Amino acid sequence: MEKIGKRFQGKVAVVTASTQGIGFSIAKRLGFEGASVVISSRNQKNVDKAVETLRASGLQVFGLVCDVSNSQQRKNLIEKTIQKYGKIDVIVSNAAADFSIDSILETEESVLDKSWEINVKASILILQEAAPHLEKGSSVVLVSSIAGYHPQALMAIYGVTKTTLLGLTKALAAEMGPNTRVNCIAPGFVPTNFSDFITKNDEFRKAIEERTLLKRLGTREDMAAAAAFLASEEASFITGETLVIAGGIPSRL
């Protein structure tokens, strides 16, 4: 980390669901590159711990509780960021949930609603709150998944919501340009608390590694590097695109 540049010096970045896993690594990377980072999650204890960890590394970080399905907490996340920093340059919408391993036709309506609410709708509503405060030259990064290209049986509804984010990226890029770029990352399989049920199973893990051209799982740092690139001025002529970071697992032609 010490050798990376300062592409986000003077920038303000908001990252949802960022007290652990991929979201935390993205926030850490943006902070190391000079950003003042606003992190959030549903749990105050997790927020406090993550803030303490990042500040111990010398980063500028501000933590807030935000359940992205809660309208008042979404509003508070943006309002408190503006009160503290006066602007927003980068938003990374990372919050997601996988509520079901049932087949699509056996999934209860309440689960369908919650999956849509967290994985798709919340990104839209956060951006509705934030859009008036985004600086010219700002950047949005949505977090989809390799599962968005090929929804698997154990995570079918999750995969379908992640497919939706690919289209949402295109639509938002058209709507928010030219002042704001909107891109997306599609992580492959990365060991996190969220993916434990897959990556800690030796059989599943070996099968995934065999399908991956680089013969390994991804790391949270791999995902953070890709998100930081898309958010940075180095990607200033890229918008409406999804970057697959999956070690060569087939996604598209």
Amino acid at 12: V
Strand partners, 245: 187
Instruction: Tell me the three state secondary structure of residue 242.
Output: strand
- Token pair of 84 as six digits: 């503290």
Instruction: Tell me the three state secondary structure of residue 181.
Output: strand
CA distance 101 to 106: 10
Determine which one of 24, 85, 158, 189 is catalytic: 158
Q: Which of 27, 177, 5 is nearest to 91 (CA)?
A: 27
Distances (CA, A) of 83 to 52, 80, 179: 21, 5, 22
CA distance 72 to 202: 42
- 158 catalytic? Reply is yes
Catalytic residue numbers, as ranges: 158
